[in-house]
Homo-oligomer: A and B are copies of this chain.
Amino acid sequence: MSLITGHNFIGGQRSAAGTVIVKSVDASTGEDLPYDFQQATAQEVDDASQAAHTAFLGYRTLSAPRKAEFLEAIAEELEALDDEFIGLVCRETALPAARIQGERARTSGQMRLFAEVLRRGDFYGARIDRALPLRQPLPRPDLRQYRTAIGPVAVFGASNFPLAFSTAGGDTASALAAGCPVVFKAHSGHMATAEQVANAIIRAAQRTGMPAGVFNMIYGSGVGEALVKHPLIKAVGFTGSLKGGRALCDMAAARPEPIPVFAEMSSINPVVILPRALSLRADSIATQLAASVVQGCGQFCTNPGLVVGIHSDAFTAFQAEVARLIDDQPAQTMLNAGTLRSYAAGLQHLHAHPGIHHLAGSDQQGRQAQPQLFKADVTLLLEGDKVLQEEVFGPNSIFIEVADPEQLNAAIAALHGQLTATLIGELEDLETFAQLTPLLETKVGRILVNGYPTGVEVCDAMVHGGPYPATSDSRGTSVGTLSIDRFLRPVCFQNYPDALLPDALKNANPLNITRLVDGCHTRDSVRIPDA
């Protein structure tokens, strides 16, 4: 493990120009860790953005295999971090070592997956329409399109995945893969972890010969605003609260030059329990659901926060069983004191609401989070009650009982945008309630059948996105290879000499990628008839 200096990472150098010190704490004890982190000054925020911009011009045009080498080197450097590092992450986050080891594997696997994407080359979206010199009434010129990096990206990581959604997480990986240098705002909840990971990225950049400034990191509170407003920053990736994400979106939209923000924010991830499944396997559903609610102390964006079922004796019994299981779950330590405070405040809102009843869970007090279960009147959902649709981040869930299938449709239609929705049902249920799928499609980024939404696979087909307030732009995802699209923009070349075209668009197809040529997908080279 490297020495932790707490200095900002700017253009391949370390910088400590300021006077404000911020501290990281032991998540279990609340005690300060023995490191001083230097809050970035306004000049350092500017320097970091300038460094990213300077790196952009060179990094953007590096070949895809060269960028892939960089991502793979990051993966190797992450994997080379030792047990002391794992211990440090556990100390800053109160997450168990096995979880951190698994998360590290996910993080390095994600870097390697993006290296594959770079070599596969479909991210280019290469399209070629050959000239039609004899077309009437006007000839068509030769037109070729590919996608290239949008520019330096500001990334704000999440507290709940100190590796996979943080310094070297999905936003950083997809931005770097797209050809965008990154300025990362270190999360206050795990700054020592962030420093170790940033060092790993810098080592990887150095040994693969990347431009200085391809990755920068700044510490401190309040530095994010200056970063998002910096004219050289061209896009933002964020994972965190609705309040924080919306604030960044508003700042980005109000800039002289507005820039796109992908903020993954708030989701209550409804789980619909269908009748036939309930009649056949209520106990196993109850066990699995309770386990999903409390997994990782409920600190997942995809935690099942709302459970919907149709009124019946079986559903009443099912609620009682889940309540019994939740009552049996132990308290757990949360990521940090702020998260625990927010959880307690969220529970107070639920307790205070006349339409919401407490079903299970010990009084929320002390230094740990108590798992909780509530039940809300369906009219709250139908009438747009805000408390019900607000994510309470932590190990709790809310039951909703609908009168009949018609009211189930109405309840689903009343939901805000979500990351996920889950149907628990037998094939017979899914056919009977077939109308739920098209309805849910308009509400969520991912629909699951007979699974639980916690656990987000990193692959080509994953969508970790969804309509507002799940994210700020339903057209994106922050997990999976499609996430690279957020940081790419198309450029078209008209009548360009072959030698001056980017490799992705040259006649000979030197990258051997699939391209859309005159409307057909092909890896063939492009033949240009003699003029």
Contact = CB atoms under 8 A, between A and B. Distances in A.
A452 to B, nearest CB: 10
A298 interface: no
A448 B451 CA distance: 51
Given A143-B461, A457-B141, A490-B482, A468 B258 contact: yes
A500 B253 contact: no
A457 B140 contact: yes
A460 B521 CA distance: 12
A469 B490 CA distance: 16
A468 B434 contact: no
Contacts of A463: 145, 490-492
Most B CB contacts (10 A, CB to CB) among A249, A460, A469 go to A460
Given A61-B438, A249-B253, A430-B500, A460 B495 contact: no
Given A61-B438, A461-B144, A475 B490 contact: yes
A489 B475 contact: yes
A486 to B, nearest CB: 8
A422 to B, nearest CB: 9
A90 to B, nearest CB: 19
Contact of A468 (B257, B465, B473, B497): B257
B122 A521 contact: yes
Interface stretch (A38-46, A153-161, A375-383, A439-447): A439-447
Nearest to A474: B489
Contacts of A249: 253, 258
A240 interface: no
B448 A495 contact: yes
Interface string A138-166: 10110111001011000000000000000
A107 to B, nearest CB: 15
Contacts of A145: 460-463, 480, 482
A451 B494 contact: yes
A521 to B, nearest CB: 5
A410 interface: no
Nearest to A518: B460
A87 interface: no
A459 B140 contact: yes
Contacts of A127: 460-461, 482
A495 B513 CA distance: 30
A7 to B, nearest CB: 30
Interface in A470-513: 472-475, 477, 480, 482, 485-486, 488-497, 500
A482 B489 CA distance: 11
A494 B446 contact: yes
A325 interface: no
Contacts of A489: 465, 467, 474-475
A437 interface: yes
A490 B459 contact: no
A457 B460 CA distance: 32
Q: Name the 5 nearest CB pairs between A and B, nearest first.
A: A253-B253, A463-B492, A143-B461, A448-B494, A446-B492
Interface of A: 56-57, 60-61, 102, 116, 120, 122, 125, 127-129, 137-138, 140-141, 143-145, 148, 150-151, 249-250, 253-254, 257-258, 260, 417, 427, 430-431, 434, 437-439, 441-442, 444-451, 455, 457, 459-463, 465, 467-469, 472-475, 477, 480, 482, 485-486, 488-497, 500, 514, 516, 519, 521
Given A57-B438, A145-B460, 20 more contacts: A116-B519, A120-B519, A128-B461, A129-B459, A140-B457, A145-B480, A150-B474, A257-B468, A258-B472, A260-B473, A260-B475, A430-B497, A441-B491, A445-B490, A447-B491, A448-B494, A449-B493, A449-B494, A449-B495, A514-B521
